[in-house]
Structure 1
């Protein structure tokens, strides 16, 4: 951006014609710039750019065949007399000591119809418009066809309305002729408040030392040299400096020749708008001094944000609940069938948190019913966790906008915190929607559970066999011939073997359940973290990236708007 500003400041444009298509392309780039920075930069920084886009579009649309030239000067400079002398008619009232021009007067060379809309736009009343063309002098004035010469109110008038009107018109005209007189040519108001402010428009600026007839031949060169020195100090080096006198028709011939050349070139309006555009770009360059940052955010900072949000969302709590739920369900599926009903009386850890896989919504989902994500019962994050989220969000924004000029870091922080109030609900919804991986029972649960049932049935068969033998003995009936396993009867083997084998199987499976529960907890934590990452991306990272993208797009558009002609 600094190289663009350097070219804008250093190039001399007086000898370079302005291409209308290039100017339109630069203005279009400025429009794209305004779209990119909308909502990110304060209105006071964008006001001049918006005004220029609107004014330039209107000016070029109304007429490119007319040149608006304004005579601007202080009270007593002879501005109105010079206006009449150039027009060769008495059109504007003349005063010496008191300002007599309260409103702008316009003289149009050529048909008035083509200039009407332009005069309406700049606000010159119809009764103050004059046509400088007649069959008697058409040949003498034809070289100025297309010229609209304005006599502005005095910019040092004691009436504020006059000064405001002069300032308004100075921003709209294509070329300004500053009229000074030998007595007040060094007035600080003229130089500090006006001439110095037009240093970007020196190719559409002309300075006239009027009333030169009041100076002697020896005094005139000295005054011109001193005035040139002041103009150079104002940044107007190379600006044409002419001498005129409203009392001598020949003394305005050089000024008329200059106007004829300006009208013939049809460049004044383009150069004025180009100068305005240069000024806008230069004034905004400090806001885009740094190159645009990369689209990828700092990984370490991003991970810290996700960790902070995960803690705030209760991911560690949910992961612990998954571990406990896995153990609870695995023990219920692989434990002794006789005590499984007792285990079902204990609450499921996931069901207490209203989390998926807790069993409350599974039946409806299996039946095809539409399920709405309800709020979970994950404990509210502690103040320290909420504070960590705020710090992490701020850190992401600051790292992302690191090195950018003001106010972009502030814009990034504001974007990152724009939806901060919605984060708790978004995180809770993300946790509620995450599949924790406990909906399906592992196959080995069923195998162990089936084996437990076989062992239990063996023990029950042994008990029934023993009870049947006891009953036969009580009734005095012939007893059963029980097979022996060594010295132990088969019913006893079935009973004790089933019970001991079931207990041993439960003890052997317990380490497997613990290991599988740890894997399930880690898997659930990974899925929950991924869900939290999506929330972080949508609610924090994406708004920051939008700000960075706006910065990059705005900087590129501003560079295009500032490209040399």
Structure 2
């Protein structure tokens, strides 16, 4: 008998001890996991993890010198009889009427003061707390010093409040002793609703076949073997299995020795919490099954987003306006001075869009550069293209992620969609379009135009003066001759012709330079719009992916 009990106690203790510091580190990893998934995963899926963090913190802060053990079972299994037999006192009521035990009773081996805070947390009323320590016992009870034994209500009670109380207490105790009887040991409720749920807590689970004295000696091994088969099917292979009967002290020797070993180790609370962490890791693992995507979204997807944003921001219209403004301003600077005034009657294309005007407008207040523009609103096709591009960013970034992360990524990608129009408008208005300075060659050509124009004006004035003198009967002017032509005539005609030639020669140059200006502006606008896309779409998506990676790493640490 002693050898069997010794092997049972060794199996019950397990092969490895749970280090308190390691357990605290695992719990901290669960907290980091919860921080990472906060707002990304529905709270309804995180109840188990939140409960663990809260309960573990409280349990570790309370007495570690006490081990809370619960006797759980169905009606008629004899829990209360075992409770009284272990305490060697009649503390919990035993009767024929079912259910007999309506509330939890507690028996504390050792001073009650050290366990009161723990029992307050567990929720055992003071009038149902008892102390098992007497000077008359000498050292008979010293082996259980630090044990807090609970007699739970029946989990199959007809009163729902009893079942709820059992479920609550089973989540708080350090070790559970499941008490079954020969008649109902194979009951489906205890196996499917309770024992299978404790398959990750085998280190803190003990099963006893009570009332074994009612079985013939030849039947007991067969019943124990069948019960072991059921426990193995529940995932509780290796869990200690004992036979007990409360009518004689010899019937609880094995159970008492198992409890003494558990109390001496002071490991049950740590093992229970470690098993709870294992349960949370297994449950939450489905939320982070895949590796976190790297460098998502990819460059091709981002480029598609930038093109869609450029279309929605009116970049093509602004670039076209830049080309038109360049030709308009170049014509005003290099055209014939006598007709430049006509150009001022035509509005500057950029000014019509409320974008930076000619160089003379640089003295305007700085805030005018970020005022609302008059860029045409995006068409339905452009808005649709932008929506598809944002959706593509979310889909490509969340590819392979388990639910509900794809939805979280999509929500993040669209989280600032309402702010995009104003942001794009400000980005376009604040972009340096390269139109704030006049090129040097404009000034050179403009100076040349003024020179030939002055020559034409001088020749015209010279000729007018000669005609006026002749009309007044005064001596005619003697015009210098260049070959057969008078000099004033050459100045007039040469100035006009030179002005036309200069204008004709610069026109293709202006068109070429205007196209270059358009390309530069389009490139700058696209780059500016891309920063808006990065800030309003890509960055929120990557933030969610970063949190996914943090959650996965934290859960991996919690599983160690």
C-alpha distance in 1 between matches for 2:420 and 2:358: 24
What residue ranges of structure 2 are gaps of 5+ in the alignment? 1-11
Contact 2:369 2:430 in 1 (8 A): no
Match of 1:9 in 2: none
Match of 1:6 in 2: none
Contact 2:356 2:369 in 1 (8 A): no
Match of 1:68 in 2: 68
Q: Secondary structure at the match of 2:435?
A: coil
Verify: 1:14 aligned to 2:26, yes or no.
no
C-alpha distance in 1 between matches for 2:258 and 2:462: 129
Q: Secondary structure at the match of 1:302?
A: helix
Deviation for aligned residue 1:363: 2.6
Match of 1:52 in 2: 52
Verify: 1:494 aligned to 2:491, yes or no.
yes
Contact 2:359 2:438 in 1 (8 A): no
Residues 116 and 372 (structure 1), Cα distance of their counterparts in 2 relative to 1, 3 Å cut: farther
Match of 2:5 in 1: none
Match of 2:7 in 1: none
**Deviations along 1:407-443, whole A, 9 cap, x unmatched?**
2111111110111111111111111111111011111
Verify: 1:524 aligned to 2:524, yes or no.
no
C-alpha distance in 2 between matches for 1:526 and 1:543: 25
C-alpha distance in 2 between matches for 1:370 and 1:65: 70
Verify: 1:31 aligned to 2:28, yes or no.
no
Verify: 1:561 aligned to 2:558, yes or no.
yes
C-alpha distance in 2 between matches for 1:436 and 1:427: 15
C-alpha distance in 2 between matches for 1:249 and 1:176: 21
Picking from 424, 439, 444, the partner of 1:442 is 439
C-alpha distance in 1 between matches for 2:360 and 2:145: 88
Picking from 519, 540, 554, the partner of 1:543 is 540
Match of 2:285 in 1: 285
**Deviations along 1:440-459, whole A, 9 cap, x unmatched?**
11111111111111111111
**Deviations along 1:34-70, whole A, 9 cap, x unmatched?**
1111111111221101110111111111121111100
C-alpha distance in 1 between matches for 2:219 and 2:433: 96
Deviation for aligned residue 1:480: 2.0
Deviation for aligned residue 1:297: 2.4
Match of 1:7 in 2: none
C-alpha distance in 1 between matches for 2:243 and 2:528: 78
Verify: 1:475 aligned to 2:499, yes or no.
no
Contact 1:176 1:206 in 2 (8 A): yes
C-alpha distance in 2 between matches for 1:470 and 1:280: 109
Verify: 1:348 aligned to 2:348, yes or no.
yes
C-alpha distance in 1 between matches for 2:320 and 2:59: 70
C-alpha distance in 1 between matches for 2:195 and 2:528: 63
C-alpha distance in 2 between matches for 1:559 and 1:217: 50
What residue ranges of structure 1 are gaps of 5+ in the alignment? 1-11
C-alpha distance in 2 between matches for 1:257 and 1:196: 26
C-alpha distance in 2 between matches for 1:378 and 1:370: 18
C-alpha distance in 1 between matches for 2:251 and 2:146: 23
Picking from 412, 416, 439, the partner of 2:413 is 416
C-alpha distance in 2 between matches for 1:139 and 1:486: 144
Q: Secondary structure at the match of 2:272?
A: helix
Deviation for aligned residue 1:138: 4.3
C-alpha distance in 2 between matches for 1:360 and 1:533: 30
List aligned pairs for 1:387-426, cutoff 5 A.
387-426=384-423
C-alpha distance in 1 between matches for 2:325 and 2:427: 20
Deviation for aligned residue 1:241: 0.7
Deviation for aligned residue 1:372: 6.3
Verify: 1:381 aligned to 2:369, yes or no.
no
C-alpha distance in 1 between matches for 2:117 and 2:431: 65
Match of 2:222 in 1: 222
Contact 2:67 2:147 in 1 (8 A): yes
Match of 1:507 in 2: 504
Deviation for aligned residue 1:125: 0.7
Match of 1:42 in 2: 42
C-alpha distance in 2 between matches for 1:478 and 1:71: 140
Match of 1:154 in 2: 154
Match of 2:6 in 1: none
Match of 2:451 in 1: 454
C-alpha distance in 1 between matches for 2:442 and 2:360: 22
Residues 462 and 360 (structure 1), Cα distance of their counterparts in 2 relative to 1, 3 Å cut: closer
Q: Secondary structure at the match of 2:370?
A: coil
List aligned pairs for 1:171-210, cutoff 5 A.
171-210=171-210
C-alpha distance in 2 between matches for 1:246 and 1:182: 14
C-alpha distance in 2 between matches for 1:125 and 1:520: 84
Q: TM-score, normalised by structure 1?
A: 0.95
Q: Secondary structure at the match of 2:70?
A: strand
Q: Secondary structure at the match of 2:52?
A: helix
Contact 1:208 1:244 in 2 (8 A): yes
Residues 86 and 361 (structure 1), Cα distance of their counterparts in 2 relative to 1, 3 Å cut: farther
Deviation for aligned residue 1:389: 0.3
C-alpha distance in 2 between matches for 1:517 and 1:554: 53
Match of 1:124 in 2: 124
Contact 2:74 2:155 in 1 (8 A): yes
Q: Secondary structure at the match of 2:373?
A: coil
Q: Secondary structure at the match of 2:140?
A: helix
Match of 2:114 in 1: 114
Deviation for aligned residue 1:295: 2.9
Residues 372 and 356 (structure 1), Cα distance of their counterparts in 2 relative to 1, 3 Å cut: closer
C-alpha distance in 2 between matches for 1:288 and 1:42: 14
